[in-house]
Structure 1
Amino acid sequence: MIPRSLSIAAGLTVCGVLAAPVALAQGSVFQAVPVDEANFILVSAPIGQGERSQLNIYEQRTSKRPCFSVSGGAPAMVDPLLSTFDFTGICSRYIDGNGYSLRIGGDDLGTRYRLTVVNTGSDMELLAAPTRDRSQPTMLVARSGGVASGFLKLSFEPGWSLRRRAYGKKGLGHLYIYRDTAPQS
């Protein structure tokens, strides 16, 4: 018969060994797969009376009807046409942290960074700001190239792209604002 203290120690060892791969695999549950960025647009969308803005991402899923139009230069104005018709099956829109998050390489930073649109006075900037550890850097992700009222197109800074969250081979309804590696400060 095995002494009780030895069986408890053995059980804890087995649990530790079995639990370790689960903890390590957490970051790799989802993959980040490339998308055709021509079908997407990042938008600085006004909130309420327009004093603040938030990130919206619109996706053109079929050519049945345009989901948005873009006009002008810097900044480029966006007309969210999808707000004028039932866009089910034609367009997708991602308007908050349920629809998009930050990912760098294999690390999903959705709980550690918040994507926020900031008016600098001369530009609208999409920033990835740390939510927990304020000693981590704030990263410039995209900018509009100027300030105006209304919906403005945001263009990625070099190194950033869109990816779709996938589980196995199945693409999910969540996008990543993605970089292979963190930008150098």
Structure 2
Amino acid sequence: MKLTLPIRLATLATLTLTSIFPLDSAKSAVSFDERVIDQSQVIAVARPYGSNKYDLLVIEQIPGKKQCWSESGANPVVVEPLLLKFDFTGHCRRATDSNGYSIRIDGRDYGLNYLLSVVPRNGELFLVGTPRTGGPEIVVARTRGLSQGFLKFVLEPGWQFSKRAFDGKELGHFYFSGNGEAIVAAGGSLPPNHTPAPAIAFTDIGNDIYKAEIEQAVAKGFIAGFKEDSTFRPEVALTREQLVSMIVDALKTVPETKVSVADRISENPYTDVDGSRWSAAKIQWAKKNQIVSGYPDGTFKPTKEVTRAELVAVLQKAAKYAQTQRGSSAQLPAKETPKTFSDTAGHWAETLVSQMSAYCQVASPVNEKGTAFAPNAPAFRNYAAAATLRMLNCVNSNPQQPTN
């Protein structure tokens, strides 16, 4: 759903943002999924109105289009809402009330339980989830200072932006999406009696060695199952375009990692990848950032199966990209002793497979048993999900360097 009504700076009676929600929270948690979006392309803003009052505005930049806002200063960051100066249709997406955004924590939508409110307190503005029926508030973000004009909200630890999705299609509704464990670790509050939404009960992973990692990967949103029959299809081989899509969506979950993928492209990334293909924009982005490459004849072979060695090679490049985006060295630090595999000697990927085995066991033996890596065997969806999750966890475990 796209929100296309013009922004109205009407005076509101209170700071509380209200709306009518079409679904109760339990149904919403079951009916809707979420997709993590590029965190650098979305912003939450305290918008002034009336006399020293503020409401919430969420703006998303469409990659490659006219700039929707600019920022200046620090503590607080002052926002110039450039979209107010031109017809932003096709350039910017935004939400101005609670029909367009809500709180979601650990897969549960709390839109019916909490109103998002802008509250002045202790010389800054807080974005809080105010319970409708009593109980503790939930602090989602703060401006870290007070000034004139539009101010940027900085999300508290454990929070990120995502979008509502249904049947694999991204919708216009924004989530302030929280990770309960991280929120609590940072001293934040959760809804009373909060429990994560139950994991998707795939019917075909009960005995899979990667079951727990598959469920975590699906929860992160970079790979999905098949709703039509509630399966994950763990031993189906990944194709090259599916790998690119998974890696791009995985990188979007890494804080301070810029992944700006256009909605659509007009040119062809490779001779056999038309610009209208579902994966074309992601393939183009991955090519531009040297995470994947094509063949000498100018093709990409998007439907060709990926080998386990190729999977690890792409994961290595993705990890290096994420680390440099976060201000760290591209060198991947060894977290443990490299493994010696019985079948990689002389293989083109011998060294990188060994290195990635020391990087949080991204490279590991077939089904986590024995000493064979099987570099030329197809990369199945179960191992691809697990290896990608390990890569993300390893990147996030490295201290982020301060940016200038």
Please give the TM-score of this superposition, normalised by the length of structure 2. 0.38
- 1:139 positional shift: 1.0
Q: Which has the larger radius of gyration?
A: 2
Deviation at 1:26, TM superposition (A): 5.2
Measure, in 2, the Cα distance between the counterparts of 1:71 and 1:27: 37
Residue 161 of structure 1, CA deviation: 0.6
Relative to its length, the structure with more strand (as a share) is 1
Structure with larger RCO (C-alpha < 8 A, sep 6+): 1
Give the paired residue count: 160
2:128 equivalent in structure 1: 127
Provide structure 2 residue ranges, at least 5 long, that are not aligned to the other structure: 1-25, 190-404
Q: Distance in 2 between matches of 1:25 and 1:94?
A: 22
- CA shift, 1:25, in A, is 5.9
Kept in 2: contact 1:128–1:138 (CA 8 A): yes
Instruction: Name 2:58's counterpart in structure 1.
Output: 57
Q: Which residue number in structure 2 is paired with residue 174 of structure 1?
A: 173
Check the 8 A contact 1:62/1:89 in 2, yes or no: no
Partner of 2:111: 110
From 40, 43, 56, give the equivalent of 1:38. Answer: 40
Does the 8 Å contact 2:28/2:109 carry over to 1? no
Letter of the 1:174 partner, please give it. Answer: H
**How far did residue 162 of structure 1 move?**
0.7
Give me the whole-angstrom Cα distance separating, in 2, the residues matched to 1:26 and 1:142.
Answer: 23
Query: What CA distance in whole angstroms lies between the structure 1 residues aligned with 2:127 and 2:58?
Result: 12
Identity of matched residues, %: 40
Q: Kindly state the Cα deviation for residue 64 of structure 1 after the two structures are TM-superposed.
A: 2.5
2:147 maps to which residue?
148
What CA distance in whole angstroms lies between the structure 1 residues aligned with 2:81 and 2:65? 16
- Report if the CA contact (8 A) 2:70-2:82 is conserved: yes
- Mapped to 2, the partners of 1:26 and 1:54 lie a distance apart of 25
Residue 55 of structure 1, CA deviation: 1.1
1:92-107 to structure 2, matched below 5 A, reads 92-107=93-108
Deviates more, 1:162-171 or 1:60-69: 60-69
Question: In proportion to residue count, which structure has more helix?
Answer: 2
User: Which structure 1 segments of 5+ residues have no match?
Assistant: 1-23
Instruction: Indicate conservation of the 8 Å contact 1:62/1:91, yes or no.
Output: no
Q: What root-mean-square deviation, in Å, do the aligned CA atoms of Structure 1 and Structure 2 show?
A: 1.7
User: How far apart, CA to CA, are the structure 2 residues paired with 1:156 and 1:25?
Assistant: 27
Runs of 4 or more consecutive aligned structure 1 residues displaced over 2 Å after TM superposition: 24-27, 182-185
Q: Secondary structure at the match of 1:28?
A: helix
TM-score, with structure 1 as normaliser: 0.81
